[in-house]
Structure 1
Amino acid sequence: MQNIDSLLSLPIDTLVLLAAGYLGYRLAFTGKDREHKTTDVIFISAAFAAIAKAVMMICVVVGSPAAGLFLAAPASLLVAIIWRRWVSEKVFGILKDKQIMTHDRTETAWQSLIARDGNVVRQIVVHRTDGTSYMCDDFFPFKDVAPSPLILGMDGSVVFPVSHWRDAGKEEWTEERDVVSKEWGNLLTYVPADQIKSIEMRLE
């Protein structure tokens, strides 16, 4: 509690910089921060805070310091979005092409896959350890399912609407009806990571 009181006693512009830096970091690296250590969090947050500070300084120069307080955090978040959506993959691609870096600091291929933004999954088949298989033959009819038609957990678990299922040793798929129901709501299936043998996904 004392630490919080000490933090809140800081000048407002300092609090804005701290908030802008950390929010920028979280937006840019959520789902990609598993390997980050404390020093990574501090210095990356400081980088986004520096962007906010630059905006504040520009606003002071043009004679509107109050505008700097309002624009600092949005500017930092905008840069975070640009970095995550467009720049980071291009930078990694260049480093990979030049053989400077061949990995993205994730522990597993699964984590690397789900951390990549922009992937559109059209079809998924989950094979369970007991031999049964679950499939969503086409995600398009379920695109409006809330909160999401497909959730890929960092631990390897999966949540999705099962349109077809197949028992162990069978070749024919059985269609699951009423997956989307106006009366009962949407039916999502959770498959724990320790029950999954393999996953097949078709990406657009």
Structure 2
Amino acid sequence: MQELIELSWQTQIVIVSGYLSYVLAYSGMRSEHKTIDSVSIVLCFGGLGLLIIHTIDPLIGEDFRFENVVLGISGVVVPIIFAVLWRKLFRENFGKFWRWTGVSEEDGLPTAWNTLIQKRGLLYTQINVTTKDGRVLESWPLEPFNNDPNGPCVLGADGSIGMYVTHITEVGEERREVRKLRDDNGIRITYIPKDQIAEVDLRRSFKKRSN
């Protein structure tokens, strides 16, 4: 920590802005990143902050009283803004461009599960989870859970799932409805660890744009 404090303020800006931007841009996608991946992305975002500092510095001039404050804030804020834009606009379109050119068919995400859960603008209506012991846990319809805690479901980056189980089908038995899922004390959510899941079925569609 002492070594970090003793670094120049520009270097500290690179580290802080780079890390904050990395967290925003790759939220939910970092579990499969190796150290070299994380460090490289942090430096890319942080380097943008350093570039902004060196661009603005000559325009401000040394006589400006709050020069370092303006430079520091700019060096952090601009990379964060770019990180948000990268997450919402650029990353997906960047992948589409490379697929269009025929260079690569992969989308930059480590697993198909990450690709599924990171797709934006989708309306989820049903989720079925088959556990390794053959039991099927179902949540349908999902719409009534939209305003509940963590609703309508939680799709973990590690492959785990949190869901409001409305129906259960045991091996060799008929599908049955879960009683008292919701009462005066709240609503019951079920957590299924990744190592207990054999299959996940999701029903979803693109959200309709309101006029």
Query: What TM bracket, shorter-length normalisation?
Result: 0.7 to 0.9
**Which of residues 9, 12, 33 in structure 2 aligns to 1:12?**
9
**Which of residues 97, 115, 137 in structure 1 aligns to 2:140?**
137
**Which of residues 156, 162, 166 in structure 2 aligns to 1:163?**
166
Q: SS at the partner of 1:165?
A: strand
Rounded to whole Å, the distance in 1 between the matches of 2:40 and 2:110 is 22
TM-score (norm 1): 0.84
- Residue 178 and residue 86 in structure 1: after superposition, are their counterparts in 2 closer, same or farther (change >3 A)? farther
Q: SS at the partner of 1:10?
A: coil
Rounded to whole Å, the distance in 1 between the matches of 2:120 and 2:73 is 29
1:25 aligns with 22
- Residue 58 and residue 179 in structure 1: after superposition, are their counterparts in 2 closer, same or farther (change >3 A)? farther
- Residue 35 and residue 128 in structure 1: after superposition, are their counterparts in 2 closer, same or farther (change >3 A)? closer
**Which of residues 164, 177, 180 in structure 2 aligns to 1:175?**
177
Rounded to whole Å, the distance in 1 between the matches of 2:48 and 2:192 is 42
Work out whether residues 56 and 68 of structure 1, in 8 Å CA contact, stay in contact via their aligned partners in 2: yes
Shift, 1:142, TM fit: 0.9
Work out whether residues 128 and 200 of structure 2, in 8 Å CA contact, stay in contact via their aligned partners in 1: yes
Q: Count the aligned residue pairs.
A: 199
Q: Residues 1-204 of structure 1: matches in 2 within 5 Å?
A: 4-63=1-60, 65=67, 66-171=69-174, 173-181=175-183, 183-204=184-205
Rounded to whole Å, the distance in 1 between the matches of 2:160 and 2:130 is 12
Which residue identity does 2:200 align to in structure 1?
I
Rounded to whole Å, the distance in 1 between the matches of 2:35 and 2:126 is 38
Work out whether residues 124 and 202 of structure 2, in 8 Å CA contact, stay in contact via their aligned partners in 1: yes
Which residue identity does 2:54 align to in structure 1?
M
- Residue 194 and residue 41 in structure 1: after superposition, are their counterparts in 2 closer, same or farther (change >3 A)? closer
Give the stretch that moved more between structures: 31-40 or 183-192. 31-40
Q: SS at the partner of 1:197?
A: strand
% of aligned pairs identical? 28
Work out whether residues 157 and 190 of structure 1, in 8 Å CA contact, stay in contact via their aligned partners in 2: yes
Deviations 1:101-160 (A, max 9, x none): 112354432233224444442210112233321111122211122234322233422111
Rounded to whole Å, the distance in 1 between the matches of 2:126 and 2:150 is 18
Gaps of 5+ in 2: 206-211
Deviations 1:61-95 (A, max 9, x none): 33263222123212111111111111111111121
Rounded to whole Å, the distance in 2 between the matches of 1:20 and 1:203 is 36
Query: What's the RMSD between the two structures over aligned residues?
Result: 2.3
- Residue 197 and residue 39 in structure 1: after superposition, are their counterparts in 2 closer, same or farther (change >3 A)? closer
Rounded to whole Å, the distance in 1 between the matches of 2:27 and 2:70 is 28
Work out whether residues 182 and 188 of structure 2, in 8 Å CA contact, stay in contact via their aligned partners in 1: yes
Rounded to whole Å, the distance in 2 between the matches of 1:87 and 1:105 is 13
